[in-house]
Chains A and B, each alone.
Chain A
Amino acid sequence: MKISEDTLKIISQLSKLEIEDVMKDKILKELESILLMVDKMNEVDTSKIKPMSHPLNQAQNLREDIISENIERDKYIKNAPHSDNGYYLSPKVIEQK
């Protein structure tokens, strides 16, 4: 299956990865080989098999609704490149308002 340059552009935008021009061919080939593998897997007849979302045949353990988290904001916030007065700061996100 062929991947167009436009698709590659969208994928890189979605994944927030910048792909240099010199890398494009290599990455296109790699992505195509992944899709080839998927095609290969699709050859297997799975029509009689129940779909499975997770490899473990187990059920979720649930938590009681209690508050027990110790929140150390000032410690966590040191991980952020920018912060002020208990807020995390990000580059301005301008929504069309």
Chain B
Amino acid sequence: MSTNSKSFNWEPVIGLEIHVQLSTKSKIFSNAPTEFGIEQNLQASIIDLGLPGVLPVLNKKAIEMAVRFGCSINANISNHAIFARKNYFYPDLPKGYQISQLDDPIVGEGSVEIEIENEKKLIGITRAHLEEDAGKSIHDKYDNSSAIDLNRAGTPLLEIVSEPDLRSAKEAVCYLKKIHSIVTFLDISDGDMSQGSMRCDANVSIRKKGETKLGNRTEIKNINSFKFVEKAINFEISRQINLLESDNFIEQETRLYDSQKDETRSMRSKEHANDYRYFPEPDLIPLEISNDFIQDIKNSLPELPDQKIERFCSEYKLNSYEAEILNSSKEMSNFYEKIAQSIKNTKLIAKWMVGDFSAILNKYGSSVEESKISCDDLTDLLQKLDEDKISDPAAKKIIEILWNENITVEEIIERENLKQISNEDDIGELIEKVIKENPKQLEQYRNGKEKLFGFFVGQVMKTTQGSADPKVVNKILKDKLKQ
């Protein structure tokens, strides 16, 4: 590159490889359990340990789950899938190879639609294949050894590979969230990124806008949260731009994201690039998947996020933004629909769930499943709001208390004196009193200083410590001031 002009319009090109742990009870090739957080090596069977003489036998459920995913992204499902050995040497991979797929993966080309800034975009999925997870190496437990826990070895993984169709870190996150919602709605994974049920590698390159050739890419390994995906990719994009604009070149390499320093670092530790020496897995003969099997799965697919979003818009009269957020996870959408059974005001439920309820989940870094506010509590609260028994600010306060204390909505209203006065007679009396106490302002108001209306509202709210229903106050005050 000989041009010297700096700061072109650079276009990032991003593809993701997403690893999803399938929620089978047993492992992909053995009958050992797949639970998370079990004492070390208590669920590593002789097959998971790769002891001599053992043979892998495929878990039917894992196949079913992979096909479910394939059907939900309109992908071709292979009738004849093949497993392959991927050879590499690492202590948490006891066999010295990982059983994976190379040619003829179980799920072929498909696509998903994402929506970003009100624009829809189709993201291509190249393939999705089945493989086994590795164990875990713990490096800081012993001074001179690495400790190996093989409980995770053999957990089924679906690796979903996207086309390089993503053009920003935001799009990448949006796509990752879409995949997350699909796999959780399909019930094929719990999608818990904090436990490693979903992990992601990002391939990032940049090129000048208008260029059709791809630039050299780097691969950022093992990113385990939505937030880090965005940060890691953004860091990598600006690193690459800086390099190219200072006439350096991008080395094709694997990098690691360090969330503490918010930077990516080269992982290059060997002179030679990895050479996985793939070959067809001799211990597993080809997997035949019949069209009947595929059709049965297609017929039994649950309602998927996109369909549900559409239904939420028409059935509950929500806008697409609300519907999207309410369908960001299966639990969230179940929560909403459960509340909507007892409260008719579906817009109100959406407003509070998208707003303050989501905000408190974010604040405490919690998922809907882990929410300290139960569906019943939230129903109670929204019911009171809908019936004007409490005010908006009171509801905000109650949400915070509900999260932190084991107490009912009713008890909080009582204890904090949050009951809203909305009885017109009561409020009328209060207003008359306020008017009587402020004759000067009344005079000015009646002489045309209408700004003083706010003053009277303020006085009423003050005497009731904010518990008067502002709608009623406004209405009655207007009448009374005219008299």
Residues of A within 8 A of B (CB): 10, 13-14, 16, 53-54, 56, 58-69, 71, 73, 76-77, 79, 82, 84-97
Known: A66-B26, A68-B31, A73-B44. 9 other contacts (CB 8 A): A14-B277, A65-B60, A67-B26, A88-B147, A88-B150, A89-B148, A92-B142, A92-B144, A96-B269
Enumerate 23 A-B pairs (CB-CB under 8 Å) in ascending A order: A10-B272, A13-B272, A14-B275, A61-B58, A62-B57, A62-B58, A63-B31, A63-B59, A65-B24, A65-B59, A65-B62, A66-B26, A67-B26, A67-B31, A69-B31, A69-B45, A71-B32, A76-B46, A87-B40, A87-B148, A90-B146, A92-B139, A96-B268
Q: A53-B280, A54-B285, A62-B59 are in contact. Are A88 and B41 (CB under 8 A)?
A: yes
The residues of A that contact B288 with a CB separation of less than 8 Å are: 59-60
Report if B15 contacts A (CB, 8 A).
no
- CB nearest neighbor in B for A13: B272
The residues of A that contact B40 with a CB separation of less than 8 Å are: 85-87
**Residue pair B286, A60 in contact (C-beta under 8 Å):** yes
B296 CB → nearest A CB, Å:
15
Interface residue range, chain B: 35 or more
Q: Mark B416-433, 1 if CB is under 8 A from A, else 0.
A: 000000000000000000
B65 CB → nearest A CB, Å:
10
The residues of B that contact A13 with a CB separation of less than 8 Å are: 272
A25 CB → nearest B CB, Å:
23
- CB nearest neighbor in A for B138: A87
**Residue pair A71, B44 in contact (C-beta under 8 Å):** yes
Q: Mark B7-36, 1 if CB is under 8 A from A, else 0.
A: 000000000000000001110001111000
Report if B462 contacts A (CB, 8 A).
no
Compute the total of residue contacts between A and B using a CB distance below 8 Å: 135
The residues of A that contact B59 with a CB separation of less than 8 Å are: 62-63, 65
Report if B407 contacts A (CB, 8 A).
no
**Residue pair B25, A87 in contact (C-beta under 8 Å):** no
The residues of A that contact B268 with a CB separation of less than 8 Å are: 96
The residues of B that contact A77 with a CB separation of less than 8 Å are: 41
Report if B414 contacts A (CB, 8 A).
no
The residues of A that contact B193 with a CB separation of less than 8 Å are: none
The residues of A that contact B434 with a CB separation of less than 8 Å are: none
Q: Which one of B32, B138, B145, B275 has the highest number of Cβ atoms from chain A below 10 Å of its Cβ? A: B145
Q: A67-B31, A89-B147, A93-B146 are in contact. Are A73 and B272 (CB under 8 A)?
A: no
The residues of B that contact A16 with a CB separation of less than 8 Å are: 89
Report if B43 contacts A (CB, 8 A).
yes
- Bound CA–CA A14/B96 (angstroms): 11
- Bound CA–CA A69/B89 (angstroms): 27
| A-facing residues in B383-405 (Cβ within 8 Å) | none
Report if B294 contacts A (CB, 8 A).
no
A34 CB → nearest B CB, Å:
15
- CB nearest neighbor in B for A64: B60
The residues of A that contact B74 with a CB separation of less than 8 Å are: none
The residues of B that contact A97 with a CB separation of less than 8 Å are: 256, 258
The residues of A that contact B31 with a CB separation of less than 8 Å are: 63, 66-69
- CB nearest neighbor in A for B27: A69
- Bound CA–CA A56/B286 (angstroms): 9
